Amino acid sequence: MSTPLNRRTLLRGGLGVAATGLVLPVAGKNAWAAPPTDAEIYGAPTTNPLVWQRADPFVTPRTRGRYYFTASVPEYDRLIVRAAPTIEGLGGAAEAVVWRRPASGKMGGHIWAPELHRIDGRWYLYFAAGDSDDVFRIRMYVMESTAPDPRDVSGWSTPRQIITPWDSFSLDATTFEHRGERYLVWAQSEPEISSNSNLYIARMTSPFTITGNPARIATPTKSWEVQGFRVNEGAAVIKRNGRIFVTFSASATDARYCMGLLTADARADLLDPATWSKNADPVFTTNEQTRQYGPGHNSFTVAEDGETDVLVYHARDYRDIVGDPLYDPNRHARAQRLYWHADGTPLFGVPVGRGGPIVRLSPANASSSFVRHYAYALRVDPQVRELADSQFRFVPGFAGDRTVSLRSVNFPDRYWRVDGTSLRIDPAEDGATFAAQASFRRVPGLANNNGVSLELSDRPGSYVNHDKGHLTVGTASRTRSTFWLS
């Protein structure tokens, strides 16, 4: 009998040494464990930026061993596709231009927000385009390709317009299949409604054509949806846990840009507006601490492990913009793990700043709980209200010599610090005292070498331990001194 084995299972503590038959190094004074990558922990990269100067990013599920990426370019003049075997690899992948706007006439204006979908063995590229005499006369279009690889320019057909009941500003088409039916979701300015764009859904008879009367499922009315412009746009669909979730973006495309969430029961009539409920508050917003501004226009994909959901979105690294934000080129595509609440709804956290892999730590003796910080204290709790309070990065230790420090994700200036016999999280300080108190030796977990254990850099033999919700310092213990990573 063979045992399925992957790095994620080992790091999370799912299998003991006896079960795997592996001989792993014994933790001790000379043991050293290099920080694992996100892919090793849970298959999902934290890549920020993923692709520079690419807004409205869309990443397909892995298809024939490759992820495909498309997005808006700052010039708004062409459609591009990248491919790589990993999500992170998309950042350095070559870019194929599969279509350029004509020099004049129809579709000769702004080219926005492409999405790439594989439907019945063919590729479809949905996008929005204006005309040369009015770049904002935006309408929706789609091209088809029979080529196996969407980077093959020769495979693409001439764009066809998607016709809706109103000949008005329309954009951001996305499509999904549910219970044997295909649907289109898009944003449009409906006559006689005082908004820039609302969200609509309709059934499709083909990848080019909708049928029946569209249902309006979202209109910008809340305070966070009407900053600068009254906008609901950029829908993305993810089906999980018996529900259909639609994220969307709202307000102007500067630091006020943010993401909202619609939810529908998967068994309900998706064309009934009453099926859809909107979260009262935005689910993903500008974060001053991580210096990520205007996150939005996202897509979803699945990580290399085949099960972990990944959020792909764009944001800027600064708040202040000179001129119209639409023409500021520095909206970069980014990727981070999407988490889930216990009730089955998505948990977004904050747009994380630059840096390496992000982890959550669960004590081996309380594996359903997480280390989290609040008001400079570090605790262990079964319920964490703010996801980012429980997210940390291993970084090179202040004390050097193969030590590590743990930095907060949502307060990047703060680090784990030993305070007598307990731990807290504090802003970095100069000097040897802070360096020693905020540095650890990371060794394979003392519980069957799974997970990690943290030995104090200046107190050999003393470890970070968990005891009834508190982090303490003490002698080594197989369960109290081991933390699973997730």
User: d(Cα 233, Cα 219) in Å, to the nearest integer?
Assistant: 10
| DSSP label at residue 224 | G
* Tokens read off for 236: 């993305």
- Of the residues 233, 304, 328, 389, only one is catalytic, namely 233
Closest CA to 282 of 350, 194, 353: 350
Determine how many CB atoms are found less than 10 A away from the CB of residue 191.
9
C-alpha distances in angstroms, 338 versus 26, 311, 348, 417?
Answer: 34, 6, 6, 28
56 catalytic residue (yes or no): yes
Cβ–Cβ contacts within 10 Å for residue 290, how many? 23
Which is catalytic among the residues 38, 56, 131, 254?
56
Contact 118, 207 (CB under 8 A): no
> 153 pairs with which residues across the strands?
none
Tokens of 138: 């935006």
* Residues 125/151, Cβ–Cβ less than 8 Å: no
Residue written as token pair 């090793």: 40
d(CA 153, CA 26): 54
Per the DSSP assignment, residues forming a β-bridge with 395 are: 405
Quick check: is 233 catalytic? Answer: yes
Give the residue numbers annotated as catalytic, written as ranges. 56, 233
